[in-house]
Amino acid sequence: MSLNTVRHDYKITKANREELRGHKSLLLWFTGLSGSGKSTLANLVETALYKEGISTFSLDGDNIRKGINKDLSFAPNDRTENIRRIAEIANLMVDAGVVTLAAFVSPYIKDREDIKTIVGADNFIEIYVNTSLEECERRDVKGLYKKARAGEIKNMTGISAPYEAPINPDVEIKTDDQSIEVSVQTILDFIIQKLK
């Protein structure tokens, strides 16, 4: 199918869009176990950026799986396809000059490396929300761990499916012993200079 397509290049470029907005565009990729705080942190970081006049948009795992990826399961191959599709969407948004925040478990190192390839290493910031399984289970905001332990959910990351932690993330947040305010500020301190 792709053999019959030809990329069309338009006159307005990513650089033009960044100049218009007054800041660079990036993909901030939040990875970690379910319940680690990825979406909460992404939401707060986006709010802080918005207050500074930065054009932003958030992509969230549950929201994406209710729409464009509703045809995918949580089996390993479908997880990889889920992340590939999200990376392609994020790439379009970064090209549009928007700081894109993506909060996804994204359990496999290779998938996260593929994201970096799709959007370009210079546009990719990996934020590892490093929260212990014990703490995630204690929070169990969505009741998923309880269901997984009861055998009601298959392929639950951290229980019956693996999570491959980032080896060298750009930012690592340890929410077990770090306040949300400090976590948000740590992320902002890292990315704010990159937006200029």
- pLDDT bin (cut points 50, 70, 90) of residue 4 is confident
Residue 132, annotated as binding a ligand: no
pLDDT for the residue 90 = 97
Sequence-distant (≥ 6) Cβ neighbours of residue 190 within 8 angstroms: 125, 170, 171
Percent above pLDDT 90 for the chain? 67
pLDDT tens figures, 100-159: 999 999 999 999 999 999 999 999 999 999 999 999 999 988 888 888 898 898 889 989
Secondary structure element (H or E) that encloses residue 99, with its range: strand 99-103
Per-residue pLDDT band at 56 (split at 50, 70, 90): very high
pLDDT of residue 181 exceeding 80? yes
Q: What per-residue confidence (pLDDT) applies to 62? A: 77
* pLDDT top residue among 168 and 9: 168
User: Is residue 39 left, alpha or beta, with left meaning phi > 0 and alpha meaning psi from -120 to 50?
Assistant: alpha
Q: Which CATH superfamily is domain 25-132+164-195 in?
A: P-loop containing nucleotide triphosphate hydrolases (3.40.50.300)
Say if residue 3's pLDDT is above 80: no
188 is in an annotated binding site: no
What's the whole-model pTM score? 0.92
Residue 1 has pLDDT above 60, yes or no: no
The catalytic position among 25, 55, 58, 106 is 106
Confidence bin at 45 (pLDDT 50/70/90): very high
CB atoms inside a 10 Å sphere around CB 44: 18
| Pairwise pLDDT comparison (83 vs 155), residue with the higher score | 83
Concerning whether 106 is annotated as a catalytic residue, the answer is yes
Kindly indicate the confidence band of residue 25, based on its pLDDT and cuts at 50, 70 and 90: very high
| Tally of CB atoms within 10 A around 163 | 18
Q: What is the mean pLDDT of residues 34-49?
A: 96
**Binding site annotation covers 34?**
yes
Known binding residue 36? Answer is yes
Rounded-to-integer distance, Cα 147 and Cα 56, Å: 34
Interval 72-93 mean pLDDT: 92
Is the confidence at residue 97, as pLDDT, over 90? yes
